[in-house]
């Protein structure tokens, strides 16, 4: 099978898998599928190996560790090393603008700054000292966030929109999610750093994809490759088509083409996640609230006492107050909270 077909098949498989997980994540189908797959695998894999896999998965995803931070920096370093080593030099020889070529490095510097801030900043840890003031920030909806709920681990009353993170072992104000890539929770006080980090990471991947694509197109045009011919398996003379051209470029410049495929796929994945994150920010939702939002909570929450005949109460977003106010809550959380207290 041709390289291009294999690559497109792999890209389509990854994208379909990601979309399927996003669609099924709010239903019971995914959990049932995972349980069924785990039962099948448990019949094949020896018990000792299963225990080892469970320990590794628990360490990676249920404890705070720097594995994904190192992996993130390693992948980013490898991509930028290839861009610097080959693409940058070739583009200079072809007369590309230096400002155009330096844009990925500018995005890298900004990205690393906000990546660091996302890693080390306090996401909004709720303590006994600040719990009372944080209780005044958001209104309780009595569906997803009922009043007088207490965290029995942290021994504090839970403000609306907060959640206890089992990985970090702390309650987080306006909890969004725990991100393994930054080894930190994303909450009220560092959501802006994470959003800019995600934006610059997407932009840097897309910029390198554009620069590499323009370089390869320019190389084909300058060398007149698109005018060449080749002899096929039947001995007939054929004009070079796009499939043959891409395979030829892969054989000639394999690292650049492989890097291009990687950053293109990364651009699609990060771009989709960025759009989702911007949607949540614009509507003043968190990932935690979006994930739990379509359920009827009076039948699922054991802490809320309701009559047996009570109708299911579906969660509705009561925190959205317009686009600019919602974005202000992300980028200026302290000012937004002070304004709410005054109102």
In the chain, the percentage of residues whose pLDDT exceeds 90 is: 55
Average pLDDT over residues 207-225: 90
Phi-psi region of 144 (alpha: psi -120 to 50; beta: other; left: phi over 0): alpha
What is the tens place of the pLDDT at every residue in 264-313?
Answer: 999 999 999 999 999 999 999 999 999 887 654 444 444 444 545 455 56
Average pLDDT over residues 88-115: 94
Q: In the block, which residue shows the tokens 């410049």? A: 253
Q: How many CB atoms lie within 10 A of CB 290?
A: 18
Catalytic residue among 179, 185, 301, 338: 179
Q: In the block, which residue shows the tokens 């395979």? A: 247
What is the tens place of the pLDDT at every residue in 23-64?
Answer: 555 555 656 666 676 677 777 878 888 889 889 989 999 999
More confident residue, 252 or 301: 252
In the chain, the percentage of residues whose pLDDT exceeds 70 is: 78
* Domain locations along the chain: 45-299+318-331
This prediction's pTM = 0.84
Number of C-alpha atoms within 13 angstroms, CB side, residue 114? 18
Distance from C-alpha of 271 to C-alpha of 134, rounded to nearest angstrom: 33
Asked if residues 155 and 127 have their Cβ atoms less than 8 Å apart, the reply is no
4 is written with which tokens?
């291009």
- DSSP H or E run through 229: strand 229-231
Determine the length of the chain.
343
CA-wise closest residue to 264 among 215, 213, 198, 199: 213
- DSSP H or E run through 12: helix 3-24
* 185 given a catalytic annotation: no
Q: Over 60: is that where the pLDDT of 1 sits?
A: no
Report the interhelical angle of 67-82 vs 47-62 (nearest 10°): 80
């Amino acid at each position: 099978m041709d390289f291009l077909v294999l690559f497109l098949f792999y890209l389509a498989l990854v994208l379909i898998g990601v979309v399927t997980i996003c669609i099924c994540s709010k239903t019971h189908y995914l959990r049932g599928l995972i349980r069924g797959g785990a039962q099948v695998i448990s019949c094949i894999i020896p018990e000792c190996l299963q225990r080892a896999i469970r320990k590794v998965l628990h360490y990676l995803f249920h404890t705070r560790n720097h594995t994904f931070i190192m992996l993130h920096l390693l992948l980013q370093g490898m991509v930028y090393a290839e861009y610097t080593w080959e693409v940058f030099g070739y583009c200079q020889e072809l007369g590309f603008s230096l400002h155009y070529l330096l844009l990925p490095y500018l995005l890298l510097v900004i990205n690393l700054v906000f990546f660091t801030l996302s890693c080390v900043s306090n996401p909004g840890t709720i303590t006994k000292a600040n719990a009372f003031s944080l209780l005044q920030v958001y209104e309780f909806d009595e569906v997803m966030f009922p009043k007088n709920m207490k965290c029995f681990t942290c021994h504090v009353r839970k403000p609306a929109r907060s959640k206890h993170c089992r990985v970090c072992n702390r309650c987080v104000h306006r909890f969004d999610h725990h991100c393994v890539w930054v080894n930190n929770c994303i909450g009220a006080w560092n959501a802006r750093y994470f959003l800019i980090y995600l934006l610059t990471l997407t932009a840097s991947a897309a910029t390198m994809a554009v620069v590499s694509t323009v370089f390869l197109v320019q190389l084909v045009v300058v060398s007149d490759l698109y005018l060449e011919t080749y002899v096929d398996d039947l001995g007939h003379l054929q004009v070079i088509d796009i499939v043959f051209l891409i395979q030829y470029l892969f054989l000639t410049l394999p690292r650049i083409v492989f890097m291009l495929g990687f950053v293109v796929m990364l651009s699609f994945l990060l771009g989709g996640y960025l759009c989702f994150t911007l949607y949540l920010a614009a509507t003043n939702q968190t990932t935690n609230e979006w994930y739990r939002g379509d359920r009827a909570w009076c039948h699922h929450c054991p802490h809320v006492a309701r009559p047996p005949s009570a109708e299911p109460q579906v969660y509705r977003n009561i925190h959205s107050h317009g686009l600019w106010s919602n974005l202000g809550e992300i980028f200026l959380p302290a000012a937004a909270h002070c304004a709410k207290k005054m109102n």
